Amino acid sequence: MGQRERSEQPGVYSDELNGETSDTKQNRIHGLSRRTQIVADFANGAVCCRKRVTLMRITLLILVLANVVASAACGRTRAVAWPPTVTPLQSPAGANSFEPQLTASDRGVILSWIERAGKTAHLKFAERSSSGWTPATTVASGDDWFLSYADVPAVFRMANGTLLATWQQLTDEFIEATNLRLTYSTDNGKTWAPSFLPHNDGTKSQHGFPTFFDMAGGGIGLVWLDGRNNEFDFDNPNKAAMNLRYGAFDASWKQTADTLVDGRVCECCPTTAVPTSDGILTAYRDRSEKEVRDIAVSRLQNGAWSEPVPVHADNWEIEACPVNGPMLSANGRDVAAAWFTAATGEGQSFAAFSTDAGRTWGAPIRLDDAASLGRVGVTLLDDGSAIVSWVEYADRRGQFRARRVERSGAKSAPITLAGVSGSPTTGYPRIARHGDELVFAWAETTGDASDPTFAVKTAVASLR
């Protein structure tokens, strides 16, 4: 390919162009993919276009999002009390750590992250303990991993106590093809099974953005984005389609499912899924033939996935993936959802509630106060309200914030947990709940903007 050079459009890059911003340099330093290197930088937010998208489509995308952070303050709603004390918690992550993820089970909260040493990536994890975090444990390492700020490795504890871990192995750098690798441990991380794949198509294509959930009988299920049908055709750009697929394994790790959930979804927005009393509910960013990319949900019930329905008709028509997925939290038939949209030309984050396992949804509740970069999180509380997090954008700086929201639309004043860069390489802040405690995780940058150092940070807050 030819030399890369900067285009006349600020912040827009393609593989035929020459030059490198601090964001793309940060991505290169940390092994991040070209999915994050073709970036439309609207007020330091991120809109990711896969390199197979033409420069013309990227330019159109910039025009669509030109005013994305010009949002006005949302309307006044009744305030609710939520005065938590947030306490910093010494992070177990070492130097050059990034891509944090939090997962929660009946046994507690697990923090996982990536540490880089030269070209080698190490997936590590620790568990929340009464005194802080357990010592870091290494799951796996590799120098052929695909690393992305939005599509992060994870460690998940199953209901039977087994630990499940996942990461992506790069199979073709030019087309960014990846295999989704899984492994498990039955001795609390001392040893791990040989890694294996949940997809059986044998293609060199994207397989990523997984979400895991427990299945009846001690098995495990997952949904992921699957690119086996996403070969780009320059003569017919709308022909390619990313799929959402579902896989399942029984208690003996025999695969029992590898099926399609939705045949046309957004290319690189994270997925989410939760158990409800009516079956597993998954949410993702859908994609219509007219490039409307709103959040949809589908439910696994009696072995079949329901027809997708929108959480809300934002009608966000956008030419490429915004790299901003939804999040769900559930308790019985009660579900809370959070998501990002820029349908009005303003970056905004919202939450909504369902009392029928995601079949219908209440009115969207605005989360941010001025503008948002999205990257949301949500956890449902016992009283039916939810703690929701997002990245607020103000004074050209991102802030990791959270607030309590009720079904009525009432919401507390926001709390600011950390100042985070607007750059996509700081990734997604995380929130998880176990009992009466909230756990937060995020990545901070230090040093010069052109050559930053990353470090995973954590904090906790009591719900009492």
> What confidence tens digit (pLDDT) does each residue in 178-188 have?
999 999 999 99
Better-scored residue on pLDDT, 55 or 201: 201
Encoded tokens for 337: 């959802």
Kindly report the pTM of this predicted structure. 0.85
- Give the H/E segment covering residue 122: strand 120-129
Of 53, 55, 63, 420, which Cα lies nearest the Cα of 268? 53
Query: Is 312 within 8 Å of 337 (Cβ atoms)?
Result: no
Burial of 362 (0-12, 13-18, 19+ CB in 10 A): middle
Token look-up 């939520």 returns 82
Rounded Cα distance, 136 and 71, in Å: 42
> What confidence tens digit (pLDDT) does each residue in 192-213 have?
999 999 999 999 999 999 999 9
For residues 457-461, average pLDDT: 97
- Give the H/E segment covering residue 211: strand 207-214
Encoded tokens for 121: 């990536």
Work out the pLDDT band at 425, boundaries 50, 70, 90: low
Phi and psi at 22, nearest 5°, equal -60, -35
Of 135, 94, 89, 133, which Cα lies nearest the Cα of 115? 94
Rounded Cα distance, 141 and 312, in Å: 40
pLDDT given at position 198: 98
Partners of residue 400 on adjacent β-strands: 391, 418
Work out the pLDDT band at 424, boundaries 50, 70, 90: low
For β-strands 365-366 and 348-354, DSSP reports them as antiparallel
Phi and psi at 39, nearest 5°, equal -120, 130
Token look-up 């939005």 returns 150
Better-scored residue on pLDDT, 168 or 397: 168
Partners of residue 365 on adjacent β-strands: 351
> What confidence tens digit (pLDDT) does each residue in 229-271 have?
987 666 776 678 999 999 999 999 999 999 999 999 999 999 9
> What confidence tens digit (pLDDT) does each residue in 338-358 have?
999 999 999 999 999 999 999
pLDDT given at position 22: 37
Query: Is 80 within 8 Å of 459 (Cβ atoms)?
Result: no
Rounded Cα distance, 342 and 253, in Å: 41
Rounded Cα distance, 170 and 372, in Å: 32
Percent of the chain with pLDDT over 70: 81
> With 70 as the cut, is the pLDDT of residue 300 above it?
yes
Q: How far is CA 45 from the centre of its chain?
A: 15
Better-scored residue on pLDDT, 50 or 191: 191
> What confidence tens digit (pLDDT) does each residue in 4-32 have?
232 232 222 222 222 333 344 344 334 44
178-206 per-residue burial string, b: 16 or more CB within 10 A, e: under 16:
bbbbbbbbeeebeebeebebbbeeebebb
Partners of residue 111 on adjacent β-strands: 102, 126
CATH topology of domain 89-361+440-454: Neuraminidase (2.120.10)
pLDDT given at position 395: 81
Token look-up 């949940």 returns 198
| Mean pLDDT for all residues in the chain | 85
Please give the order of strands across the beta sheet that includes 177-185: 154-157, 163-172, 177-185
Reported as half-sphere exposure (CB side, CA atoms, 13 A), residue 385 has a value of 15
pLDDT given at position 394: 84
For residue 409, give the 3-state DSSP assignment. coil
pLDDT given at position 287: 97
For residues 151-159, average pLDDT: 98
Work out the pLDDT band at 91, boundaries 50, 70, 90: very high
Q: Where are the domains of the chain?
A: 89-361+440-454
Query: Is 101 within 8 Å of 156 (Cβ atoms)?
Result: no
